[in-house]
A = this chain, B = another copy of it.
Amino acid sequence: MSETRTEIASLGEFGLIDRLSQPFAAASPQTVKGIGDDAAVIDLENEYGLLTADLLLEGVHFDLSFFPLKHLGYKAIAVNISDIAAMNGIPGQVTVSLAVSNRFSVEAIEELYAGIAAACADFRVDLVGGDLSSSRSGLLISVSVFGKVDKGKVVYRASAQPNDLLCVTGDLGAAYLGLQILEREKQVFLANPNMQPQLDGHDYVVQRQLKPEARMDVIYELAEAGVIPTAMIDLSDGLASDLLQLSKASNVGAMVFEENLPIDEQTYLAATELNLSPVTAALNGGEDYELLFTVRQADYDKIKNNPKISVIGYVTDQPQSITLSLKSGSKVPITAQGWEQG
């Protein structure tokens, strides 16, 4: 008997998800959208329900040597709420399932839950259930969120149109540089435990890594301004990767202007200190949990004065071709891995 063994690494996460998802076409007419967007969409007669789930594993997604448990609890909720925001939805209820090794005390788990409670309060959601299990190796957090959205206001990835404006909320690249700063200080500490971490001047980038916020504030503001984005995705993997996802789903391309990328002063500072490119951090850093969305040009006046929103480019009719227009005037293609300097 010959058995084929294909390594997961040879397909990658997205490749494996594509392969596994194929047999799962939705059968119920109440399943409006299954796998393939930030959240699933469920028909509830008068409105749509939204359902999303995410895992966070110690040693894969977080390092407890510099990640406070309270912040981790907050982040676990925020990153899931961000998926509901990306559907233009309002989150309502969350479940949290934990697997915990006996390395953790009850007090440590209470710290984690204090962060979960803070996020539930900030995003006005109720913790309604979950599971608690022992673990043989470290800490694992699995969160699911249920939310709702008006049927006429749900926003998918797949509906961007050529000439739409490309927008992002907040600023980009800070969370990635915050992580690099924290990793650097960890190495310094490991080499000499008497050294104190040098985080002065990096409080913003460090906070962006440790306490990301889901942009529900912008969702409410867009609703107030009467703007329904034509397409939306949250920025978890980095602008380059997430913009490619949105472009692929919508069968469009995009032109992005380097000079329009919102990058904080502290991000430039940290990038300089670490000898990294701030533009690369903005494009590929990931974990910003900002929103990337497209709007019709006719809606420009309704968003142009919102300081939380930057128009970074526009949608083109060239499928999956993403171009970065540099400050120098030259143009380079953006790939999932980043951008190729011309």
Contacts and interface: CB of A to CB of B under 8 A. Distances in A.
Contacts of A124: 27-28
Contact of A146 (B10, B100, B146): B146
Interface in A130-145: 130-138, 140, 142, 144
A136 B6 contact: no
A135 B140 CA distance: 10
A190 to B, nearest CB: 19
A273 interface: no
Interface of A is mostly: mixed
A110 interface: yes
Contacts of A4: 107
A238 to B, nearest CB: 17
Given A6-B105, A11-B106, A93 B42 contact: yes
Contact-size category for A: 35 or more
B40 A134 contact: no
Interface in A112-154: 113, 117, 120-121, 124-138, 140, 142, 144, 146
A97 B53 contact: yes
B8 A109 contact: yes
A1 interface: no
Contact of A24 (B51, B60, B110, B117): B117
Contacts of A95: 40, 51-53, 144
Interface stretch (A29-37, A215-223, A252-260, A281-289): A29-37
Contact of A128 (B51, B105, B135): B51
Q: 8 tightest CB-CB pairs across the interface, nearest first?
A: A40-B128, A142-B142, A144-B144, A6-B106, A53-B95, A137-B137, A34-B128, A31-B126
Given A42-B93, A55-B133, 9 more contacts: A10-B106, A20-B109, A31-B92, A31-B126, A34-B127, A42-B146, A45-B45, A49-B146, A51-B93
9 contacts: A9-B102, A16-B106, A28-B93, A28-B126, A34-B93, A40-B95, A51-B93, A51-B128, A55-B97
